[in-house]
Amino acid sequence: MSTRELKTAVASIQEADASMPTDLDGMRGALGDLDDLLGVLSSYGRRLSSAVESLPGATPDLRVNEVDGPVAPEFVCNQVAIHLQAAAAGIDQSRTAVRVAHRLSERLHLQRR
């Protein structure tokens, strides 16, 4: 996914936020879509983490800040990958919560029939 595609996805989500569903059917649909979105986002974060880990180390040592000395690019890439994995794990937890909310909305929908 390119940067442009990510920005387009963000814009679409922001538009959806402006038209929040106000009925049970709309909420059920939105929860299902959010579940799918979180799954894709988690997977993308994990793939991005793998890609960062395998970046070539052709650059010289990097300065992360002005206080510490230079560090190897591999160290920085490894840290980026670790944080992306942690973000993906957090997204997975969010997805679990959304999935529970979606199931609850399904039950409520079935009871209203």
The model's pTM:
0.77
Q: Name the token pair of 90.
A: 């957090």
3-state secondary structure of 62: strand
**pLDDT digit string (tens) for the chain, length 113 residues:** 678 888 888 888 888 888 888 898 899 999 999 999 999 999 999 999 998 888 766 566 666 777 777 777 788 888 899 999 999 999 999 999 999 999 999 898 888 76
Contact (CB, 8 A) for 37 and 100: no
Cβ-proximal residues to 27 (8 Å cutoff; 6+ apart), any chain: 21, 105
Domain ranges of the chain: 3-111
